[in-house]
């Protein structure tokens, strides 16, 4: 078994169409990855996810470390067998939890120490331990432990976090993983171009199989986000895949692709689904609204997902009113399928040179939403 390979098949400007290959299959890029934090995409069976066209999902090493524990997952044959998922898996390292659980974390150059949100016990998480956990989980793509900060972060705080991220990346590279696993480095540096450039160039010298942009969409303005996104991409190796972490708003996906990003993940499709919000190519819908009580059309005409092929807006609205969990399942199926269709459309637009026009169309339908990373 070998690490992933990445081939660029077509490029227009910075936007590119490619193919990532792991031992668990081929992935067309740009790609959107559904989030299955605890080895499950909420309310969905693995077959439901596969049927949306998804071929890679994300799981979280920190949460799986707490329960059920990497030893149990390894004894089960790894995450793929444990959760019965045939496609590829990327595991996040726990770096985001350093930020999101900040009041429960103490951090030094040696390690991050978490107070478990489950039972209050202290958990020591070093860059080496993060890699050992992800190696035991058996993911195809694993991430270096990074120090992520919220924006706005003072320059000295951002620089210290970037320096620590680079230190941890070097230590992570020395930790053994399985032959089929690929370790990605993560670029930090908050909104400061010089820090992003330094981090990207130093990581590039380490020759990782792929690179991620972390610490974006965490409180900075949309313009700052986009400026750093485009700027940083100029310093990453062209021949390696690029992953924008925790970003999934439709407009952000297009902007990311225009900046040369190949991979995205976000909880947005399923989190919105649980609140009755559906994505369509005609704009968002709130299926809890009373106006859908007598609408017997599918969520979106022309959508080939199982929810749209079999159920009406009126039925789904009834499920939400009755607080039946099937509502979550059906809208989650539709939303994840929408995101895969959306990426199909982006790839087509790259080929025919119409991506800027597609962005203008989507700007009329979708206003920017807040942070959606999970």
pLDDT at 302: 98
- CA nearest 264: which of 251, 276, 275? 251
Residue 140 annotated in active site: no
Contacts of 108 (CB under 8 A, 6+ apart): none
Neighbours of 40 (CB within 10 A): 15
pLDDT at 48: 98
Confidence of residue 100 (pLDDT cuts 50, 70, 90): confident
pLDDT in tens, 125-168: 999 999 999 999 999 999 999 999 999 899 999 999 999 999 99
Is the confidence at residue 373, as pLDDT, over 50? no
Q: What is the DSSP letter of 103?
A: G
pLDDT at 127: 97
Domain ranges of the chain: 5-269, 273-365
Contacts of 23 (CB under 8 A, 6+ apart): 1, 2, 140, 180
Is the confidence at residue 22, as pLDDT, over 70? yes
pLDDT at 276: 98
CATH code for the part of the protein at 5-269: 3.20.20.105
pLDDT in tens, 187-218: 999 999 999 999 999 999 999 999 999 999 99
Q: Which percentage of the chain shows pLDDT scores above 70?
A: 98
- CA nearest 335: which of 136, 49, 104? 49
**What element of type H or E holds 22?**
strand 15-22
Residues paired with 242 in a beta bridge: 211
Confidence of residue 374 (pLDDT cuts 50, 70, 90): very low
What whole-number distance in Å separates Cα of residue 139 and Cα of residue 154? 35
Q: Which percentage of the chain shows pLDDT scores above 90?
A: 92
Is the confidence at residue 10, as pLDDT, over 50? yes
pLDDT in tens, 331-370: 999 999 999 999 999 999 999 999 999 999 999 999 744 4
Confidence of residue 98 (pLDDT cuts 50, 70, 90): confident
pLDDT at 372: 39
Residue 265 annotated in active site: yes
**Tokens at residue 228, please?**
């750093």
Is the confidence at residue 29, as pLDDT, over 70? yes
pLDDT in tens, 242-284: 999 999 999 999 999 999 999 999 999 999 999 999 999 999 9
Candidate list 146, 252, 262, 265, residue with the active-site label: 265
pLDDT at 371: 38
pLDDT in tens, 53-67: 999 999 999 999 999
Confidence of residue 36 (pLDDT cuts 50, 70, 90): very high
Candidate list 48, 92, 146, 262, residue with the active-site label: 92
Please give the mean pLDDT across all residues of the chain: 95
pLDDT at 309: 98
**What's the rounded mean pLDDT across residues 224-233?**
98
Model pTM above 0.85:
yes
What whole-number distance in Å separates Cα of residue 181 and Cα of residue 55? 17
pLDDT at 3: 86
């Amino acid at each position: 078994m070998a690490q992933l390979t990445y081939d660029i098949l077509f490029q227009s400007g910075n936007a590119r169409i490619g193919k990532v290959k792991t031992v668990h299959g081929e992935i067309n890029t740009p790609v959107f990855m559904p989030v299955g934090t605890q080895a499950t995409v909420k309310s969905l069976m693995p077959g439901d996810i596969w049927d949306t066209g998804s071929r890679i999902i994300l799981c979280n090493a920190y949460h799986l470390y707490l329960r059920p524990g990497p030893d149990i997952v390894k004894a089960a044959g790894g995450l793929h067998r444990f959760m019965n998922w045939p496609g590829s898996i990327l595991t996040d390292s726990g770096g985001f939890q350093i930020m999101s659980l900040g009041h429960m974390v103490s951090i030094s150059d040696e390690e991050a120490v978490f107070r478990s949100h489950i039972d209050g016990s202290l958990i020591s998480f070093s860059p080496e331990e993060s890699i050992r956990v992800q190696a035991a989980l058996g993911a195809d793509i694993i991430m270096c432990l990074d120090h992520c900060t919220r924006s706005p972060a003072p320059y000295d705080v951002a620089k210290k976090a970037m320096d620590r991220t680079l230190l941890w990346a070097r230590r992570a590279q020395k930790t053994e993983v399985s032959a089929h696993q690929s370790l990605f480095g993560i670029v930090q540096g908050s909104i400061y171009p010089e820090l992003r450039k330094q981090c990207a160039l130093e990581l590039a010298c380490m020759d990782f199989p792929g690179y991620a942009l972390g610490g974006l969409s965490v409180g900075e303005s949309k313009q700052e986000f986009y400026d750093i996104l485009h700027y940083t991409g100029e310093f990453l190796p062209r021949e390696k895949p690029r992953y924008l972490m925790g970003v999934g708003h439709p407009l952000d996906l297009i902007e990311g692709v225009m900046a040369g990003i190949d991979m995205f993940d976000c909880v947005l499709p399923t989190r919105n689904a649980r609140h009755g919000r559906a994505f369509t190519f005609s704009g968002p819908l709130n299926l809890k609204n009373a106006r859908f009580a007598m609408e017997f059309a599918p969520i979106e005409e022309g959508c080939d997902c199982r929810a749209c092929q079999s159920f009406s807006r009126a039925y789904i609205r009834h499920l939400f009113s009755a607080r039946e969990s099937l509502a979550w399942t059906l809208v989650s199926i539709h939303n994840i399928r929408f995101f895969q269709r959306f990426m199909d459309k982006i790839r087509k637009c790259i080929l025919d040179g119409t991506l800027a026009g597609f962005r203008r169309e989507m700007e009329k339908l979708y206003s920017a939403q807040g942070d959606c990373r999970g």
